Structure 1
Amino acid sequence: MMSSRSFSRPSGLGLGGGGGGARAVGARSARVVCVATPSKPPASTAPRRSKVEEIKENSDFLRHPLMEELKSTEPFINEPAMQLMKFHGSYMQDHREKRAFGQGKFYQFMMRTRQPAGKVSNQLYLTMDDLANEYGNGTLRLTTRQTYQLHGVLKQDLKTVFSTVIKNMGSTLGACGDVNRNVCGPPAPYTNRPEYAHCEKLCHDLADLLAPQAGSYYDVWLDGEKFMSLERENPEVTKARADNSHGTNYVGSPEPIYGSLFLPRKFKIACTVPGDNSVDIFTNDIAIVCMHDDAGEVYGYNIYVGGGMGRSHRNNATFPRVATALGFVPKEDIFYAVKAIVCTQRDYGRRDDRKQARLKYLINDWGIDKFRAVTEQYYGKKFKTMEEEPAWEWLDYLGWGEQEPNGLLYWGINVENGRLRGGLKKALRQVIEDFNLTVRLTANQSIILCDIQPKDKAAIEAVLSDLGGYREEDVDPIVSGSMACPAMPLCGLAIGEAERGLPDVNLRLRAMLNKVGAGDAAPIVRMTGCPNGCARPYMAEIGFVCDGPNTYQIWLGGNREQTRLAEVYAERVKISELEASLEPLFFVYQSKRLGPEEGFGDFCNRLGFPVLQAYAKAYTESPIAEAAAEAAPAAAVSGKLPRVMVDADAFAALKELASRRGVTLTQAASDAIVAASKQK
């Protein structure tokens, strides 16, 4: 591919001029020169593109051959239609555990909704619950991007399911595919915090700004009838989308921002208020922080770019990345600034290698200064210096809280790995329906019941406890802070377990922490069935990334605030060897942490992996375990460990003393030796 990242377009869809913008030349074989690239003679051959790029370009804006394939009697759709289906919010899947001998794959579809900031109306919640029972596998899944996933839909039911969602004020448009995905925002249900209300509205506006416009969604699922939403698009969004003063738009195209090729890969945006990192803000292509004054009035935005989790095993050219500071923009410019960033990625992102097509790789290749300079040409202004922000904090919004002082309440309910099923699903349905509640989905796969009258609190708790078996005090903080992707048996990329495997892993982690006396600790744990990172394991304090059947990479060193990447600590660890890998580290953590406030990820990052590995090597179940562990840092240099032997009776007495005093064996032994030396 040419260094200019240029690509061909269909005839008649040239980019508009003006303001030094991009220039298109002539007919079907024309080449486009992007704004930051000097004009060059056309190359003799067109740039190499991936197969998906050709499918998009020849689809009549996501219509064909999807419309034809949906009418066939086969239980599946072909490859081109499958690629287009993603833009409409669905993946075709094969249930590996339901394959019948000699009958091939068991095809079904997963549908994903679009829920900006995770907000769900009462009507839509009840609709999704009904669809799960009638057309899905009986469960609902809450995703790590604040949306629903409905699994197990058969091909013949797709049109019914999609049209039902649309007619009940929901949408799946752009939930998947090479477009902007669901825009995340804090699930905070506060009615008296204007900065949170502004952030929520911004999520909806950006979702509208970057939604596909060509109408294929309604052609496919509603036979061309565009269902009218009760919510009118913000006129400022409409104005910003149409603006072509800096050559951003495809003139005369039904897709003024995306054109016929859309984006090189998926694109993710999250918005929040300063200090609230409930959405893993730095893992997004664009991260927006709504800067506000003491009264909560937003006056502008800090913007970060280039975050992303996806990678491939044994391919060092792929990697997770946290977003980099780009600059500050005033309140009135946010739509234009976001559009400029998207257009820069559209025109310069890789289209020959999908593994290198995310924005993070463009920024890694160029550096932030060049990326800023190019984006400013699409924006038409300079980005200003970032505003100062407070420290970040991870908020889960679980438990009871006030939406407003002395007013309505909310209740955040943990949903383990986001899978709503059985008694809890029935109980939530009952209280949401009976008490007319609205809902917010969190980026940590949980759910918040909103608009609760104080007088109804006890009744709602009783239903959840009696019918759902849910009691807030019974949820281990490790569980409520953990996440896993669906993985086996449905995800086509999964090479091992995640959602079904993490509950047992969490129990084993808790047992190890209790064993070494660190029962107060609750590290952030995440597990994925492949390296694509959908549950964001690379930001966790402990991340498990499947690398084969029952085999995982262990990533350590992320922090609770979700501002620092973890690193690979151990490769290809069998799940049966979990205790051997982590118990020594938990033991040293309990012995050496800087008090209860130091998280496990911060501890690992402070000591560094060479020291941790030396401690782990020294750790045994023998009476000399702690003395050996104490000497591990020196041993990492010298390669030798001092040994102190004690007889069995002395060791038993030492254990009893340590237990009675509530200290480690090392501390008990040290205290006893010091006390004895003072007596002399």
Structure 2
Amino acid sequence: MSDIITRLRDESLDEYAPNERLKVDSDYLRGRLMEDMADNATGAVSPDDTQLTKFHGFYMQDDRDVRDQRRRKKLEPLYSFMVRLRLPGGRISSAQWLTLDDVATRYANGTLRITTRQTFQYHGVFKSNLRAHLKTVNDAMIDTIAACGDVNRNVTSTANPHRSKVHRQVFDIADAISTHLLPRTRAYHEIFLGEERVAGGPDEVIEPLYTQHYLPRKFKIGLAVPPDNETDVHTNDISFIAVVEGGELKGFNVAVGGGMGSTHGEPATYPRISTLIGFCAADQAVDVAEKIVLVQRDNGDRKNRKHARLKYTVDDMGAETFRAEVEKYLGHALEEARDLATTDTGPFTTTGDILGWYQGEDGQWHYGLFIENGRIRDYPDDNPIHAGMQLMSGMREIARLHDGDIVLSCNQNLIISCVKPAMREQIDAIIESYHMLKSVTPLRQHSIACVAFPTCGLAMAESERYLPTLLDKLDAVMKEAGLEDDPIIVRMTGCPNGCGRPFMAEIGFVGKAIGRYNLYLGGDFTGTRMNKMYRENIDEQTILDELTPMIQRYAREREEGEGFGDFVIRAGIIKATVNGLDFHAA
């Protein structure tokens, strides 16, 4: 056992963050959740247990649209839970899709939402429905364990493992990492699935990897196969970048320390992209992931949660020292990172998804469907943005017909994979009949928004409900400039925690207050460079006043193949460095 874990065990924990005491006292994540779930007098759980629910895959929230109204009526907030699934690589079967659709209708708000970490979130799950929701999902061989909390979360992988042999290998490794890094406590099964607790002996090791202290903060792992960086791999605590030579997966370049979260007005918190530390063979990836997690477990900051992510550990230790510590845990050295330019795939060229029909390496057909901001629902005919789109009903019909997989992407889209040639016309007919496609400009296709209001308690401004309207206005600017067929990556979040990865966008919006955003510029199209704040706390009109002449200038002055983010740097609109730090990935 490491020195710090021994010290944490022996000390009073008074000098550490409150969550450290909470984890130790939780009886391996049980807390009082059993009693809380039986309390019908409130839709909430106790404050301590709201922290523990995250380890089990869900957050307590309330509907902020009705918060003031309920307060005036002396009612408690309208509490419900956001439930997040653990879906490594985002892959499910059509049969599982039908179960998840049914759960959304019976136990949630009737929608499915694809997250930027390649899984589903449910919103509006009331406490009275929570156990039934989790039990039904579990019966379909899916769970929510470790989808949140101070543990390794959903492992992301290249969208659609059926594209090639290498893509499938990378997906299988992502799945193996996810399984290997799961917490071992049976608390989830006992509290929510009805499993009877069986006490172990006095020497029972319940969490051999995490111990009773778990990690200092959340932990994220992503894998990608160049040239496609649709997982935004450099935003993860661990980035595994596939190296392919002679058509074979040789292994991965390994990078550490990515993470998007920050806090307004606190420069000690900042987004960061991962730093390359070496190369490992494909069969070493699970072990390398474990050892990096252990280094963070033993060296991460447990006193200040705002300084507890791996990115700060890497910066505090220095990348070379961090690598040496990982190698000490491994018992051998990492190889030097490979030059992607010399591999079969080359370096990254895009962060986008393949939409529409395309064929994989073996000739199988796949269909990429655009889902704006990841929200799958049936829209009424009078909806101003998505009038008459029946995404929920249409996908239900496709899942009944299709016997292959459905895969989610980190860009909040989905892929209907391995479609039989004879079934293509039927799927096209369903998509048309249910109005599942709308006119999607390249600007809209490459956009991402987080949920924000009304359910996210951290939101300072709108995001999912507002970005489509802003994009309509930006699309008009693009059309007037003659750029309607050109992509620019636009992302928006309602706060600086970075769930929609706004700090990697060519144009990023980060909520500051209702109707006001910080404007960021200068990310690149390949997901290897962060952007920089250009204007602070501006409203929509100022956003349009700033971006309109900039986009017009881009149309006039850009060089061949030059992306918007590259142009604003070359033109001197912003600098490529912030505080002397190059924001490129190594």
TM-score (norm: length of structure 2): 0.90
Report the counterpart of residue 27 of structure 2 in structure 1. 60
Report the counterpart of residue 582 of structure 2 in structure 1. none
Contact 2:158-2:224 within 8 A present in 1 as well: yes
2:238 to 267, 280, 286: 286
Structure exhibiting the larger radius of gyration computed from Cα positions: 1
2:322 maps to 1:357: no
CA distance in 1, matches of 2:484, 2:242: 37
1:549 to 482, 502, 514: 514
Contact 2:495-2:510 within 8 A present in 1 as well: yes
2:44 maps to 1:76: yes
1:30 to 1, 10, 26: 10
CA distance in 2, matches of 1:77, 1:393: 46
1:601 to 561, 565, 583: 565
Q: Determine helix, strand or coil for the equivalent of 1:547.
A: strand
2:185 maps to 1:217: no
Matching residue's letter, 1:456:
M
RMSD: 2.0
CA distance in 2, matches of 1:171, 1:313: 34
Per-residue deviation, 1:133: 0.9
CA distance in 1, matches of 2:556, 2:516: 29
Report the counterpart of residue 371 of structure 1 in structure 2. 322
Report the counterpart of residue 117 of structure 1 in structure 2. 89
The count of aligned residue pairs is 550
Matching residue's letter, 2:51:
Q
CA distance in 1, matches of 2:121, 2:270: 26
1:273 to 201, 207, 225: 225
CA shift digits 1:155-202 (9 cap, x unpaired): 0110000011111111100000000010000113436x2211110100
Report the counterpart of residue 427 of structure 2 in structure 1. 460
Q: Determine helix, strand or coil for the equivalent of 1:97.
A: coil
Report the counterpart of residue 113 of structure 2 in structure 1. 141
Q: Determine helix, strand or coil for the equivalent of 1:396.
A: coil
- The 1:29/1:435 distance shift into structure 2, 3 A limit, reads closer
Contact 1:521-1:599 within 8 A present in 2 as well: no
2:463 maps to 1:498: yes
My pick for the range that moved more, 525-534 or 94-103, is 94-103
CA distance in 2, matches of 1:383, 1:534: 31
Report the counterpart of residue 545 of structure 2 in structure 1. 580
Per-residue deviation, 1:591: 1.7
Matching residue's letter, 1:357:
A
TM-score (norm: length of structure 1): 0.78
Give the alignment of 1:335-484 within 5 angstroms.
Answer: 335-389=286-340, 390-394=346-350, 395-406=352-363, 408-422=364-378, 423-470=390-437, 474-484=439-449
CA distance in 2, matches of 1:278, 1:46: 41
Q: Percent identity?
A: 38
Contact 1:431-1:437 within 8 A present in 2 as well: no
Give the alignment of 1:125-136 within 5 angstroms.
Answer: 125-136=97-108
Per-residue deviation, 1:333: 2.5
- The 1:24/1:134 distance shift into structure 2, 3 A limit, reads closer
Contact 1:525-1:542 within 8 A present in 2 as well: yes
CA distance in 1, matches of 2:516, 2:185: 45
Contact 2:150-2:215 within 8 A present in 1 as well: yes
Give the alignment of 1:194-205 within 5 angstroms.
Answer: 194-205=165-176
- The 1:388/1:354 distance shift into structure 2, 3 A limit, reads same
Per-residue deviation, 1:435: 2.7
CA distance in 2, matches of 1:449, 1:272: 20
Contact 1:144-1:445 within 8 A present in 2 as well: yes
1:161 to 103, 127, 133: 133
Contact 1:66-1:80 within 8 A present in 2 as well: no
CA shift digits 1:258-301 (9 cap, x unpaired): 000100110000112233211001000000123233132x2322
CA shift digits 1:319-342 (9 cap, x unpaired): 111100011123333222211110
Contact 2:62-2:455 within 8 A present in 1 as well: yes
CA distance in 1, matches of 2:480, 2:13: 63
Q: Determine helix, strand or coil for the equivalent of 1:609.
A: coil
Contact 2:453-2:462 within 8 A present in 1 as well: yes
Give the alignment of 1:511-660 within 5 angstroms.
Answer: 511-595=476-560, 597-609=561-573
Unaligned runs of 5+ in 2: 198-202, 341-345, 379-389, 577-586
CA shift digits 1:429-474 (9 cap, x unpaired): 1011123342000000001111211111122111111113425xx2
Report the counterpart of residue 239 of structure 1 in structure 2. none
Contact 2:161-2:171 within 8 A present in 1 as well: no
CA distance in 2, matches of 1:252, 1:469: 53
Report the counterpart of residue 510 of structure 1 in structure 2. 475
CA distance in 2, matches of 1:211, 1:171: 11
Contact 1:189-1:410 within 8 A present in 2 as well: no
Q: Determine helix, strand or coil for the equivalent of 2:263.
A: coil
Per-residue deviation, 1:62: 0.5
CA distance in 1, matches of 2:154, 2:414: 17
CA distance in 1, matches of 2:464, 2:554: 27
CA shift digits 1:390-410 (9 cap, x unpaired): 22022412111113544x311
CA distance in 1, matches of 2:276, 2:251: 15
CA distance in 2, matches of 1:584, 1:281: 32
CA distance in 2, matches of 1:131, 1:25: 43
Matching residue's letter, 2:102:
D
2:92 maps to 1:92: no
Matching residue's letter, 1:307:
G
Which structure's relative contact order is higher, taking Cα pairs within 8 Å and 6+ residues apart? 2
Q: Determine helix, strand or coil for the equivalent of 1:287.
A: strand
CA distance in 2, matches of 1:163, 1:281: 32
CA distance in 2, matches of 1:284, 1:497: 25
- The 1:138/1:370 distance shift into structure 2, 3 A limit, reads same
Unaligned runs of 5+ in 1: 1-14, 16-20, 32-44, 227-250, 613-680
Per-residue deviation, 1:66: 1.5
- The 1:610/1:150 distance shift into structure 2, 3 A limit, reads closer
Per-residue deviation, 1:516: 2.8
CA distance in 2, matches of 1:144, 1:555: 19
CA distance in 2, matches of 1:266, 1:125: 27
- The 1:95/1:144 distance shift into structure 2, 3 A limit, reads same
CA distance in 2, matches of 1:284, 1:25: 28
CA shift digits 1:522-568 (9 cap, x unpaired): 21000000000000000000000001110000000001111100000
CA shift digits 1:128-151 (9 cap, x unpaired): 100111111111100000000011
